[in-house]
Structure 1
Amino acid sequence: MLETISKLVTVISVVVGVVISIWSLSAAQKSEAEARVKEAETRKLELAKPFLELRQKFYLEAVHAAAVLANPEVETDEDIDKARTRFRELYVAELSMVECPNVEESMIQLARTIDKDLTNLTPAQSAAYKLAHALRDTFVMSWEVEGTCPH
């Protein structure tokens, strides 16, 4: 009987050891997988950083031009002309290359409110606008920034 109990304890010890080893291995693999996912997310953010910084720069320029154009009573004619020119440059090309669709829509609405001529593009401006959007589409794919715009 004692021998049977001894064998049973040995078998149970081996089984418990195997279970603990499997559990430890599983926990280690899960931890490693989580670390790899986190590392991939960090790499993705680093890859997107130049695009996001460029977007932020143009957003700040757009909001500055919009502020001047929306408050003409406190601005000089020269500042208004500069803001209108910069707004159109951003609208036609630079901002269009990095903007989110909701920002694009807001730029169009503001342009129509301030000066309907801002949305009347020459053929060259229209071509630049289309080019900027084509570039944006490639940036979104190559820099993996698709999820950076609110829905």
Structure 2
Amino acid sequence: MLDSISKLVQVLSVVVGVVVSIWSFTNAQKSEAEARAKEAEARKLELARPFLELRQKFYLEAVHAAAVLANPEVQTDEDLDKARKRFRELYVAELSMVECPTVEASMVKLAQTIDKDLTRLTPAQSAALDLAHALRDTFVVAWEVEGTCAPSP
């Protein structure tokens, strides 16, 4: 009987050892997969950095021009002209190349509120806007920045 118990304990020990080994291996595999996923996400963000930095630069320029145009009573005519010119440049091409749809809608709304002429585009300006949007679409795919925009309200 003692011999049977001894053999049972040995078999149970082997089974427990195998189970623990499988569990450890599975945990190690899971940890490695999570680490690889985090590394891939970090690489993706690093690849998108130039696009995101350019977007941030143009957003800051747009908000500066908007601040000047939204407060004309405290601005010089020269500052207003510069801001209107820069707003138009951003509106027609540069910002349109990197902006999120919510920012695009806000730029249109601001332009309509401040000066309706800002939304009237010449054929050349419309073509530039179309080009900027086409470039934006390729950037979104190439740099995988689809999820970098806030959802629409």
Verify same fold: TM over 0.5: yes
What's 2:25 paired with? 25
Distance (whole Å) between structure 2 residues aligned to residue 106 and residue 27 of structure 1: 48
TM score, norm. by length of structure 2: 0.98
Matched, 1:76 2:76: yes
Report Cα offsets for 1:69-91 as digits up to 9, x if no partner. 00011000000000000000000
Aligned residue for 1:100?
100
CA deviation vs aligned residue, 1:37-96 (integer Å, no higher than 9, x gap): 101110111011110000000000000000000001100000000000000000000000
Tell me, in whole angstroms, the C-alpha distance in 1 between the residues paired with 2:108 and 2:34: 43
Deviation (angstroms), 1:3: 1.0
CA distance in 1 between partners of 2:111 and 2:16 (Å): 72
Separation in structure 1 between the aligned mates of residue 10 and residue 116 of structure 2, nearest angstrom: 87
Among the aligned pairs, what percent are the same residue? Answer: 83
Letter in 2 for 1:7: K
Moved over 6 A (4+): none
Scaled by the length of structure 1, the TM-score of the pair is 0.99
C-alpha distance in 2, partners of 1:94/1:14? Answer: 68
Please report how far the alpha carbon of residue 2 of structure 1 lies from its aligned counterpart in structure 2 after TM superposition: 1.1
2:52 matched to which residue of 1?
Answer: 52
Secondary structure of 1:93's aligned partner: helix
Counterpart CA distance in 1 for 2:113 and 2:133 is 23
Partner Cα separation in structure 2 for residue 48 and residue 59 of structure 1: 16
Mark the runs of 5 or more structure 2 residues left unpaired by the alignment.
none
